[in-house]
Amino acid sequence: MMERMSLLGYAVCGIGLESDALPFDVGGIDRDAMPAGLRRRASEATQLAFSAAARACREAARSPAALPSVFASVGGEMQVTDQLCIELAKPEGLVSPTAFHNSVHNTAAGYWTIVHGCPEPATALAAGHDTFALGLLEAWCQLSCNGGELLVVCYDERWPGYLAPPLGRVAVASAMVLAAGDVPEALAHLGKPCPIGASGNRAEFSNLLETAPAAWALPLLQSAALGEAGPVALSGNGWVGDLLLATSAAA
């Protein structure tokens, strides 16, 4: 049974994200993360997911083509879906083929595998306010059962204000390259995500986390960057992960 997974690289990208207090750089949309032709059609959600995923792979020096992926998002392609719902409410509303296939929850995951020629499995999941925690749990289960390495991306774009206030005010994507077990080059190690109920730390993020469930990577990545070992909240509903520092990071 796997006891921990290793963090090989990570990145955070966002729009409207206050990042001055963070001990790592937060990027915006990276125009080079996807081909120009696709970028013109891709949503904010997919562009941000790509931006963080590409940077995390670079940080970890891993090829995107070789990694299975887990894409976790509360609302997925919320803006496209909203526009389609508006069209469907009109008597002569138009549903374009591209808008339709770009409305599925796994749009970012699908394009990621297409752009990188990646034959590995890509999944897309949602778990409301626990989306980051359960994306990480899905990553844990895949690594525990299959071994190897994978990419986990958690993202949400800005949502129309009338849909789920106060959620969706900030667009944010985090990405991590993880490996099964202890890997010597790891930046940090993570124990199994558990729903044990001891959260409440990271008060400095509380406003952000209440409006952007996808931002729950920030407390974990902050702890990793600052070298603070111990339990870290992964959601507001009690999901916690145990952060263990790699020897080199602790030194």
As given in the structure block, the two tokens for residue 234 are 């992964």
Site string for another protein, 195-234 (x = CB under 8 A): x---------------------------------------
Under the binding rule (CB under 8 A), the answer on residue 15 touching another protein is no
Cα dihedral 112→114→115→119 (10° resolution): 80
HSE-CB at 65 with a 13 A cutoff on CA atoms is 3
Closest to 6 in 3D by CA, of 142, 108, 126, 149? 149
Q: Specify the stretch interacting with another protein by CB under 8 A; choose among 18-26, 82-90, 171-179, 240-248.
A: 82-90
Tell the smallest beta-carbon distance from residue 162 to another protein (Å): 5
- Report d(CA 183, CA 236) in Å as an integer: 30
156 DSSP β-pair partners: 172
Site for another protein (CB under 8 A): how many residues? 58
Residue 105 makes contact with another protein by CB under 8 A: yes
Give residues 52-81 in contact with another protein (rule: CB under 8 A). Answer: 74-76, 81
* Bridge partners, residue 48, by sequence: none
DSSP annotation of 226 reads H
Q: Is 45 in the site for another protein (CB under 8 A)?
A: no
Place of tokens 């070789």: 66
- Binding residues (CB under 8 A) for another protein: these are 1-2, 74-76, 81, 84-86, 88-90, 95-97, 100-107, 109-111, 113-114, 116-128, 130-131, 134, 137-138, 140-142, 144-146, 162-164, 167, 192, 195
